[in-house]
């Protein structure tokens, strides 16, 4: 009960602080313009010079293209990116409640899923991993298994909040729980049915 009272107290303090910060006149809020960001970058380069053996990267291209954006294919909030053995790229977008699939050049292939609770539907798709068999997607409290075309295979619900995961060739899922107290587990190991093995 004390934990609940303490949490409510912190929530109230956060709410009051956010209200007071939002009431600051706009001209007093710190704004960052491009010139200022460039000056900060130059200062950082002076303070931390680039090592001699560094490689300079060049932007090859970005996607979705303006043409795709005009057709309604754009990101609201990219959470995670993965690729398969053929070079296809999968991008999770929690705010759009879907996964975008592109080829290796950034050419749009398809949108996978939509908002909902049913098979092939997502609430908040975040992390995605690609195996030989599956696309595995972590949603709020569910893990979804899809084929490479995005067709629903199965899913399972989990009772804990997980931050990130990997899946190995044997189908073991190693998940990092969101830790709320010192004695929380560091890593849970699940099978593809969602059972905690250890």
Q: Indicate whether this model's pTM tops 0.85.
A: no
CATH number of the domain located at residue range(s) 66-158 in this protein: 2.40.10.500
Give pLDDT, residue 103: 93
For residue 161, name the pLDDT band (cuts at 50, 70, 90): confident
Give pLDDT, residue 25: 45
Q: Annotate the chain with three-state secondary structure.
A: CHHHHHHHHHHHHHHHHHHHHHCCCHHHCCCCCHHHHHHHHHHHHHHCCCCCCCCCCCCCCCCCCHHHHHCCCCCCCCCEEEECCCCCEEEEECCCCEEEEECCCCCEEEEECEECCCCCEECCCCCEEECCCCEEEECCCEEEEECCCCCEEEEEECCCCEEEEEECCCCCEEEEECCCCCCCCCCEEECCCCCECC
Q: Which residue has the higher pLDDT, 92 or 64?
A: 92
Give pLDDT, residue 135: 95
Is the predicted pLDDT of residue 6 greater than 50, yes or no? Answer: no
Q: What is the pLDDT of residues 37-67, one digit of tens each?
A: 888 888 888 888 888 888 888 888 788 888 8
Question: What are the boundaries of each domain within the chain?
Answer: 66-158
Is the predicted pLDDT of residue 2 greater than 80, yes or no? Answer: no
């Amino acid at each position: 009960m004390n934990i609940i009272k303490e949490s409510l107290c912190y929530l109230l303090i956060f709410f009051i602080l956010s209200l007071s910060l939002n009431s600051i006149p706009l001209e007093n809020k710190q704004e960052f313009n491009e010139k200022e960001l460039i000056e900060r970058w130059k200062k950082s380069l002076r303070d931390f010079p680039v090592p001699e053996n560094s490689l300079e990267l060049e932007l090859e291209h970005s996607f979705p293209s303006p043409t795709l954006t005009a057709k309604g294919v754009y990101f609201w909030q990219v959470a995670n990116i993965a690729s398969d053995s053929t070079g296809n790229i999968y991008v999770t977008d929690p705010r759009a409640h879907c996964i975008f699939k592109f080829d290796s050049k950034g050419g749009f292939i398809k949108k996978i899923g939509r908002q909902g609770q049913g098979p092939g539907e997502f609430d908040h798709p975040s992390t995605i991993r690609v195996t030989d068999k599956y696309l595995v997607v972590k949603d709020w409290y569910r893990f979804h298994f899809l084929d490479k075309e995005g067709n629903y295979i199965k899913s399972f619900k989990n009772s804990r909040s997980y931050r990130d995961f990997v899946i190995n060739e044997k189908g073991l899922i190693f998940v990092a729980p969101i830790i709320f107290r010192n004695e929380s587990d560091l890593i849970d190991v699940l099978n593809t049915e969602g059972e905690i093995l250890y």
